[in-house]
Amino acid sequence: MLKLLLALPLITGSLCLLCLLVKKGRVAEFLNLLSVGLCFVISILLLSDITRSGPRCDFNGLIYVDTLGGFFLCLTLMVSLAVSIYSISYMRQAVEKAEIDKHLCHYYLLLNFFIFTMMLVTTTGNLGVIWISIEGTTLVSAFLVGFYNEKNSLEAAWKYLIICTVGITFALFGTVLFYYASLHIPFELRSTLNWFEMTRFADRLDPRLTKLAFVFILLGYGTKAGLAPMHTWLPDAHSQAPTPMSALLSGVLLKCSFYGMLRFYIIASKCLGTAYLNNLLLTFGVISLVIATFFILIQKDIKRLLAYSSLENMGIIAAGVGFGGLLGIYGALLHVLNHALVKSLMFFVSGSLSLKYHTKSMKDVRGAIGIMPITGTGLLLGSFALAGVPPFNMFMSEIAILSAGFSSGKVLVSCIFLVSLVIVFAGILRHTTAMAFNPPPQGVERGEAGTWAILACLLLLGPIILLGVCIPDFLDNILSQSVSIIIGEKVSWTKESLTLMK
Amino acid sequence: MEGLIKEAYLIDKLAVCMLGVVMLMSLCSRLVTLVYVYAFQSLLLAAIAFFASYTPHAHHLIWMVYLIVIVKVVVIPYVFLRIIETLTIKKEVEPYVSQLASPLVASGLVILAYYSQQYVLQLHEGVVFSHCLSISIAVILIGFFLMITRKKAVTQMVGLMTMENGVFLCAMVLTSGMPMIIELGVSFDVLMGILIMGIFVFRIRETFASIDTSKLNSLRG
């Protein structure tokens, strides 16, 4: 099942290449949707199987999926599915309006390879292969960021390519140092960068080297995960890529890189204890949060606003892990899911709006509710969720992380965290309510986005509202198991404490 | 055992040579020279891999020698030279740090690398290994320095590849090579990275009529 899962996007990618030769864009669209949908179903089955019967291991540990990996795998495919549905509508319109001079098949070809590299990140158990696949995501997605082939998008793609590759080189150095730290373990026991084996012998690693190695890992994967101050590529890449790609970059690519970092975090925490690592993560998390807050207030471009909001949310996730404890990590993982859902929705909505109004400037997008009733409502609900208004899903995870912060005794940091959240709340809602309610400009016709775009938005809105009200048992089970993988001990704690807190 | 000491001695000397060559890069202003220096530096890396393959548990490093020679000594410099030739660019213009100050900064970085290794890490693994760790940190830092202070896209790529060489040096000497499949994957990624960056350099040239990356400055805030 796992092999089929990994083979599907590759096969589809090759078929898209064939479609390119015969210029059949519609066929590529259909194939892509079919394959991603199938992958999503398989990944759900796989995850439910893993939560019941334990991790899957294959090819000597090169492929290793446990609940944590499975969670990120499902997340990747869920967003990819939504993106595939939305792409149909968006890319057709973009081609009609001659914004793109390339054939649709190019897009679907790259999209499939991009999805494949992200799936590989989450399904491998080898730290070296994690590096290879994360670098792979950069290489493939650089083409997607520069897809419009204009001045701005080329600039964004070049920045993205260079900054992320440098970052990832530091991560490679970190990986080498981790491997070096494990050389003190006798040769027979020593693993070949196999994550599972390395966690077993983590307490025998050389602590000084592990410290240095983790700093490099954090710098490297942190660059790709969009943590400040290495985030400078992020707003450019997110704003210049075609909108479905922005959703994929923000929704899952950042998280995949964060996932890579988490794997190292687990090993390092067994060797060093959590205090040192948590302080590092917390510092980067809070810096990201504060920097993003200021930029959110002054943004004029809707996609850049959303990009800085991604920066903010990656800060929240890093801080959640940094506050530590069951609640902090549970909240961080929940926030990973919530942010992916909400941010994809917001990008979809903003993409539909900017196609309608022919601009990305928030000043010129007015009266969205009147002109596009469903998309406008999506914009409003999505921005409520993004700002952390109860009873939407992001409120739940933010409050969990915040209470983890206060209960861990880091009051000052928690206060900074809280103040930033409040400012972001005001910043986002100020922009989006104006976009939704102000009187519409002359000359924009009433009319909805394409059916597929609306379908994608509705599919995302369902879980966003549902997760704000309750956390279903299966999700709770998955999250608790993932938390216990990260903490390294069995977790008997469940969502009841979260409900009590409310 | 005696043979092993001889290999360690050679590796040590070669690593020092490599550091010297990398420092030379901070002096180069002609792009073609820079690429040749890079190729020579990769050749030294291949020689180090060759001698390192005689240490215990490191026989697979002999494959790394072929890989490095093919990818880093032949293919990547060839790609660079083709880019330079097609775009008819000759010199690096006005780097952010002047041609005179660059070697000074590079020496400073070497001192920093040795300092960090001796006083921060305090490893007692035998002279060769700690020496090579310092050298690889220095190579990575100098590569990074080249990347951030030069404006031409090609120079930035060479800087990036130098950083990669530093990591490879560390991987081969300290850990007697990563597992083969990882090394293959990493080399593949590096090669693809360079090709893709090459494609973007051409696109940037077409659109901006220059590959001066300081002109890529319209996206702010």
Over residues A1-35, the pLDDT tens digits come to 888 899 999 999 999 888 888 888 888 889 999 99
Q: Can you tell me whether residue A50 is helix, strand or coil?
A: helix
Give the number of other Cβ atoms within 10 Å of residue A283's Cβ.
16
Residue type (1 letter), A218: L
The three-class DSSP label of residue A366 is coil
The minimal CB distance from A151 to the residues B122, B185, B208 is found for B208
Bridge partners (DSSP) listed for residue B91: B30
In chain B, the residue whose alpha carbon lies closest to the alpha carbon of A236 is: B219
The verdict on a CB contact (< 8 Å) between B189 and A159 is no
pLDDT at A500 exceeding the cut of 50 = no
The tokens 């290449």 sit on which residue?
A17
- Residue whose pair of structure tokens reads 């064939």 in the numeric block: A18
Beta strand segments in A76-202, E = none
Q: Which of A59-63, A443-447, B67-71 has the highest mean pLDDT?
A: B67-71
From the CA of B164, how many Å to the nearest CA of chain A? 7
Please give the structure tokens belonging to residue B42: 């990769």
A209 and B182 in contact by Cβ < 8 A?
A: no
A183 close contact with B: CB closer than 8 A? yes
B186 CB near a chain A CB, below 8 Å? yes
Would you call B170 and A173 a contact, using CB atoms and an 8 Å cutoff? yes
Does the pLDDT at position B191 exceed 80? Answer: yes
Residue A327 · residue A259 · CB < 8 Å: no
Structure confidence at residue B143 (pLDDT): 92
Best residue of A126, A137, A179 to probe chain B, by most B CBs closer than 10 Å: A179
Element of type H or E holding A308: helix A302-323
In this prediction, residues B98-103 reach a mean pLDDT of 81
Place of tokens 């796992």: A2
Provide the shortest C-alpha distance from residue A169 to chain B (in Å).
7
Chain A interface disruption, residue of B184, B189, B213, B220, most A CBs within 10 A = B189
Out of A139, A154, A192, whose CB is closest to B179?
A: A192
Of A133-137, A490-494, B84-88, B143-147, give the lowest mean pLDDT range: A490-494
pLDDT grade for B37, boundaries at 50, 70 and 90: very high
Q: Where are the alpha helices (DSSP H) in A388-410?
A: 393-407
Contact residues on chain A for B189, CB-CB shorter than 8 A: 132, 135-136, 139
The answer to whether residue B149 scores a pLDDT higher than 90 is: no
Please name the member of B167, B178, B204 whose beta carbon is closest to the beta carbon of A154: B204
Burial A30-42 (b: 16+ CB within 10 A, else e): ebbbebbebbbeb
B166/A158 Cβ within 8 A: no
Model-wide pTM > 0.90: yes
Please report, as a single letter, which amino acid is at residue A447.
Answer: G
Q: What is the pLDDT of residues A65-102, one digit of tens each?
A: 999 999 999 999 999 999 999 999 988 888 887 766 67
**Which of B122, B140, B160 lies nearest to residue A173, judging by beta carbons?**
B140
pLDDT of the residue at A253: 94
Residue A367 zone, left/alpha/beta (φ > 0; ψ -120 to 50; rest)? left
Question: According to the model, what pLDDT value does residue B1 have?
Answer: 44
A240: closest CA of chain B, how far (Å) = 10
Quick one: tokens of A253? 């690519």
d(CA A243, CA A233): 16
Give the residues across from A57 on adjacent strands: A64
What Rg, from alpha-carbon coordinates, does chain A have? 22
Q: Give backbone dihedrals phi and psi of A148, rounded to 5 degrees, phi first.
A: -75, -20
Q: Which residue has the higher pLDDT, A495 or A248?
A: A248
Q: A208 and B175 in contact by Cβ < 8 A?
A: no
Give the closest of A157, A187, A209 to B57, CB-based. A187
* Residue ranges per structural domain of chain A: 275-502
Backbone angles phi, psi at A65, to 5 degrees: -120, 115
The rounded distance, in Å, linking the Cα atoms of B27 and B39 is: 16
pLDDT of A42 higher than 80? yes
Average pLDDT over residues B22-50: 90
Contact A323, A282 (CB under 8 A): yes
Structural domain that includes position B153: 2-215
Q: In this structure, what are the phi and psi dihedrals at residue A57, rounded to the nearest 5 degrees?
A: -135, 140
Q: Do B200 and A304 touch (CB under 8 A)?
A: no
Of residues A179, A208, A299, nearest to B178 (C-beta): A179
For residue B121, list chain A residues with Cβ-Cβ distance below 8 A.
208-209, 212
User: Residue B31 domain-assigned?
Assistant: yes
**Residue A399 and residue A356 in contact, taking contact as beta carbons nearer than 8 Å:** no
Name the more confident of A94 and B73: B73
For residue B111, the distance in angstroms to the closest alpha carbon of chain A comes to: 18
Between CA A167 and CA A284 the distance in angstroms is 15
- As given in the structure block, the two tokens for residue B159 are 């800087």
In a domain, B93, yes or no: yes
Assess if residue B221 is contained within a domain. no
Burial A196-229 (b: 16+ CB within 10 A, else e): ebbbebbeebbeebbbbbbbbbbbbbbbbbbbbe
C-alpha–C-alpha distance, residues A110 and A85, integer Å? 16
Q: How many domains does chain B have?
A: 1
B157: in domain: yes
Measured distance CA(B159)–CA(A159) in Å, rounded: 15
CB contact under 8 A, A239 and B219: yes
What is the least distance, in Å, from the CA of A394 to any CA of chain B? 26
Neighbour-count burial for B131-167, b at 16+ CB within 10 Å, e otherwise: bbbbbbbbbbbbbbbbbebbbbbbbbbbbbbbbbbbb
From chain A, pick out residues whose CB is under 8 angstroms from the CB of B174. Answer: 176, 180, 183
Whether residue B187 has pLDDT greater than 50: yes
C-alpha A139/C-alpha A136 separation (Å) is 5
Please tell me which residue of chain A has the smallest CA distance to B217: A155
Residue B124 has pLDDT above 70, yes or no: no
Q: Does A150 touch chain B (CB under 8 A)?
A: yes
Q: How far apart are the first and last CA of chain A?
A: 40
**Which residue of chain B has the CA closest to A296?**
B221
- Whether the bond between A373 and the residue before it is cis, its omega within 30 degrees of 0, is no
Q: How many CB atoms lie within 10 A of CB B93?
A: 12
How does DSSP assign A438-478, residue by residue?
SPPPTTPPP----HHHHHHHHHHHHHHHHHHH---HHHHHH
pLDDT bin (cut points 50, 70, 90) of residue A460 is very high
Give the minimum alpha-carbon distance from A136 to chain B in angstroms, rounded to a whole number: 7
CB pairs A-B closer than 8 Å = 123
Residue A191's pLDDT band, with cuts at 50, 70 and 90, is low
- Is B219 close to A139, i.e. CB distance below 8 A? no
Residue B79 has pLDDT above 80, yes or no: yes
Q: What is the pLDDT of residues A314-336, one digit of tens each?
A: 999 999 999 988 899 999 999 99
With CA atoms as reference, report the closest residue to A128 among B162, B25, B148, B183: B183
Mean pLDDT value of segment B116-142:
75
Which of B123, B175, B219 faces A236 most closely, judged by CB atoms? B219
pLDDT at A498 over 60: no
Of the listed ranges A277-281, A358-362, B129-133, B143-147, the one predicted with least confidence: B129-133
Closest CA to A20 of A91, A107, A115: A107
Interface of A with B in 212-271 (CB under 8 A): 212, 235-236, 239-240
pLDDT for position A502: 45
Comparing alpha-carbon positions, the chain B residue that sits nearest to A168 is: B164
Of chain A, the percentage scoring pLDDT greater than 70 comes to 95
Cβ contact B219–A235 (<8 Å)? yes
* A228: region left, alpha or beta (phi > 0 left; psi from -120 to 50 alpha): beta
Residue B182 located in a structural domain: yes
Computed over every residue of chain A, the mean pLDDT equals 89
Nearest to A331 by CA among A285, A264, A384: A285
State the pLDDT at residue B93.
64
Please name the amino acid found at residue B76: I
> Residues with Cβ < 8 Å from B13, sequence gap 6 or more?
none
Q: What is the pLDDT of residue A163?
A: 92
Q: Which residues does chain B have within 8 Å of residue A149's beta carbon, measured at their own beta carbons?
A: 203, 207
Please work out, in degrees rounded to the nearest 5, the angle formed at the alpha carbon of residue A137 by the alpha carbons of A133 and A139.
110
Residue A368 has pLDDT above 90, yes or no: no
Most B-contacting residue of A129, A158, A210 (CB-CB within 10 A), to test interface: A158
pLDDT (0 to 100) of residue A145? 92
pLDDT higher than threshold 90 for residue A169: yes
Residue-averaged pLDDT of chain B: 83
Nearest CA in chain B to A191: B179
Contact status, residue A302 vs residue A354, Cβ threshold 8 Å: yes
Asked whether the beta carbons of residue A169 and residue B213 sit closer than 8 angstroms, the reply is: no
Q: Which residue has the tokens 């966003």?
A: A464
Q: How far, in Å, CA of A236 to CA of A151, rounded?
A: 12
A166 lies within 8 A of chain B by CB:
yes
Question: Is residue A402 within 8 Å of A417, Cβ to Cβ?
Answer: yes
Cβ–Cβ contact A132 with B under 8 A: yes
